[in-house]
Chains A and B, each alone.
Chain A
Amino acid sequence: MIQSLANWILSFDILAGLGNPIAWGLSLFIVSALIFVFVAVNAIVLVYIERKVSAFMQVRLGPMRVGKFGSLQTVADALKLLQKEDIIPRSADKILFLIGPWVILVASVVTFAAIPFSDTLLAADMSIGLFYVVSISSIVVLGIVMAGWASNNKWSLYGAMRSAAQIISYEIPVGITLIAVVAVVGSLNLQTIVQAQGGTGNLFYWIPLPLPNWFIFHSPFLFLAAFIYLIGATAEINRTPFDIPESESELVAGFMTEFSGLRWALFFLSEYANATLVAFLVAIIFLGGWQSPFSNYAGAQIGFSILTLLAVMWTLFVKAKTQRLSFYPLGLSLMITIAAWLFPGFAIWLASPGLFWMLIKVGSVIFLLMWFRWTFPRLRVDQLMYVSWKVILPISLFNLMGVAVWMWLTGEIHF
């Protein structure tokens, strides 16, 4: 994307004199800025969505005052945080305290360079994209330990130590799970991984149920791997039920206890950047990335018709269970279905790959993460380790072998 942007800049007569290196540098700057803006705006939007989702789950309204339906609430909160005094405790290790939050933020922002948003929207097309993302995102733990240690506060120290132990232990099963996918594709390039998931095929190769060729439907092993990855990744980004490093009811705010103002906002920024990153990875690796679930426009029409039927059943189920009528899912799917049948152009658009599908998938995964957060209690630190080393790690190792056997059975590889 950077090179094409540079070429585009050079295509203007006035700017042609800049020469390739300067144009390239300029576009590098523009792309970096775009990514940062994306992360910042994304955090503001996600905080708002998180508050609304939690309100929805807790039978309340959430923010309603600032802007229509409280939509400007997080903007106001961000402005408030920016104005707050940046307090540095007297006994803190000043240098580490100052750079800790930035390390976390940088580590979580730069990973987006390798994320393909659509078939063309991609900052850096790396052949080792997946490896890059996984390795850079683990630098976050360094920042957390820095921040926790530098605060010179026992709660912060506990948070940092817990976080280090947690992130490092969960990286192993997560890595092995990802290797299973890499083994299927034969490439670490995220774009290649997405491209390998186009079209429609049978569920688990043999079951005659036409579903998109996403890796989650590739084999029972990858199906399981998707969930293992989701669990492990939830732990890696410190979200409930694995939020023990900042566990509010125990460690006050964990490694963030002593931070205030802008520096505190940075933690939030990176927390949501990380959540988004995980959602992107789940979408790219298991849910076909920017691929459409439908292979042609007839598929889109039929697919949404089935979805409408499911929505009818859901509505009836909810009515039977709670005596309350909720038409939102039904109404939405019915509208799309009618539109898809009436306007073939719309159906074709639905069937074509693009940013839209990517965002839908990412949004769904993020919603799932929020759902976890507002439903589950928190694990204890030893239980967390137990889950990692004694449950998830063996399963993911078994999965890796299973995938190999499966590919041999289906004839994708030969020995």
Chain B
Amino acid sequence: MSRLHAEEMVLNMGPQHPSTHGVLRLKLRTDGEIVSHIEPVIGYLHRSFEKHAENLEYQMVTPFCGRCDYLAAMGSEHGYAMAVEKMMGIELPERVEYLRVIFAELQRIASHLVAVGTFGLDVGAITPFIYCFRERELILDLFEMASGARLLYNYIWIGGLAHDVPPGFVEKTYEFLDNFETRVAEYNQILTGNKIFIERAADIGVMTPEVAINYGVTGPSLRASGVNIDLRRTQPYSIYDRFEFDVPLGEGTQGTIGDSWDRYYVRVREMEESARIIRQALDQLPVEGDVKSAIPRRIRPPKGEIYFRSENARGELGYYIVSNGKNVPLRVKMRSPAFSNLSVINEIGQGFMISDVIAILGSLDIVLGEIDR
């Protein structure tokens, strides 16, 4: 029988759609349920981060960094602060480094919790999402304790921290870790091993290592394809070389290496590794130390430029900063991980169904604030 011929239909998914993780528009060319081409249209959340940065003093850029990736604001601030510190050659007190690592890793857990939960939501499982948010609340409580804010912190300053953590913070963090380590088993019970979930996620949107590297995919999505690149390990910044942790890689347990299930499960395991890092950092945290002692009076990096990259929750977060020796940067370019991660969707999503495109999009874990900047 010759194949039935039908016209292709263009389906506009977004900018208002429940599963595009923000204001993203996907132009899908569909043949029935099968998607033959995906064109992401972005820019709906463009807030001119780079233009702002060129008109503000260095320390005033920090809060804008957090507003880009609003689910991992600590990580964004951390990357920016480290880039400027490297330009200025600032040596940080030990306590600052440890606290920054603790916050960056807590943020990674919080961000992955959203990723894991919303991925469940994308394939129709509602309850795991609430479970994930239950733990995320506890992390946000810790952030609130330290910085006073729950989403956008402006806590990591160039050369230090805004305040030292309040008394009782360390104990509460230990408490959280004790609780959290048992909760991961709960996610695995309700979602990871669920037969329907595996059917929906395994073998869907397979990303080969070559495609991933060529498209500049980074972070958990890259590691799910089996590429062992974690900047915390391959190019240790801050004090990550002092901690013991594994870099989880996609193994194709339920299907092919680099499928949506792998991208999901790498995140689940990364949360456990982050918890390990936080525990070690808390154990080694120096009691003494002024977190503001290294904050420079005047932030005027010497003339020059830097490209500094760090491992944020979604992948390689790079800052390209050009300084002309004044107190306002000449150029701040944020290389956002989700920007590159999203661009791969046409390559890996072709030939799948509409439902799968949603699943692939969820497994890439994008944040539109960071893509559009």
Chain A directly contacts chain B within the complex, with at least one CB pair under 8 Å: yes
Chain A residue contacts of B194, Cβ below 8 A: 376-377
Contact of A250 among B19, B134, B197, B199 (CB under 8 A): B19
Q: Give the Cβ gap from A231 to chain B, nearest Cβ, in Å.
A: 12
Is the interface on chain A under 10, 10 to 19, 20 to 34, or 35 or more residues? Answer: 20 to 34
Are B196 and A252 in contact, CB atoms less than 8 angstroms apart?
no
CB <8 Å contact, B121 and A249? yes
Contact mask for chain B residues 98-122; partner A; CB cutoff 8 A; 1 contact, 0 none: 0000000000000000000000111
B196: chain A residues within 8 A (beta carbon): 241, 376-379
CB distance from B191 to the nearest CB of A (A): 8
A250 adjacent to B355 (CB under 8 Å): yes
> Is A380 an interface residue, CB under 8 A from the partner?
yes
- B126: A residues at CB distance < 8 A: 54, 58, 374
Number of contact residues on B: which range applies?
Answer: 20 to 34
Kindly state whether residue B190 has any CB partner on chain A within 8 Å.
yes
B window 115-153: CB within 8 A of A: 120-127, 130-131, 134
Would B190 and A375 count as touching, CB distance under 8 A? Answer: yes
B182: min CB distance to chain A, Å: 10
Bound CA–CA A375/B126 (angstroms): 7
Against B, the Cβ 8 Å flags (1 = close, 0 = not) of A18-53 are 000000000000000000000000000000000000
Contacts of B123 in A (CB 8 A): 249, 377-378
B199: chain A residues at CB < 8 Å are 379-380, 383
Known: A58-B131, A154-B11, A249-B358. A377 touches B125 (CB 8 A): yes
Q: Are B18 and A248 touching (Cβ within 8 A)? A: yes
Proximity string of chain A (357-378) to chain B, C-beta cutoff 8 Å, 1 when within and 0 when not = 0000000000000000011111
Nearest-Cβ distance from residue A184 to partner chain B, whole angstroms: 32
Least Cβ distance of A373 to chain B in Å?
Answer: 8
Find the B residue at minimum CB distance from A155: B11
Other-chain contact of B200, A154, A252, A380 (Cβ < 8 Å) = A380
Contact with B130, one of A59, A154, A241, A252 (Cβ below 8 angstroms)? A59
From B352, which residue of chain A is reached at the shortest CB distance?
A380
Instruction: List 10 A–B pairs whose Cβ atoms lie within 8 Å, in order of A's numbering.
Output: A58-B126, A154-B9, A240-B124, A249-B18, A250-B354, A378-B124, A378-B200, A378-B355, A379-B200, A383-B200
| Top 10 closest pairs, chain A to chain B, by CB | A378-B124, A377-B125, A58-B130, A249-B19, A377-B123, A377-B124, A380-B355, A377-B197, A377-B196, A249-B122
Name 7 extra pairs, CB < 8 A, besides A54-B126, A57-B127, A379-B196: A249-B19, A249-B121, A251-B354, A374-B126, A376-B196, A377-B124, A377-B196
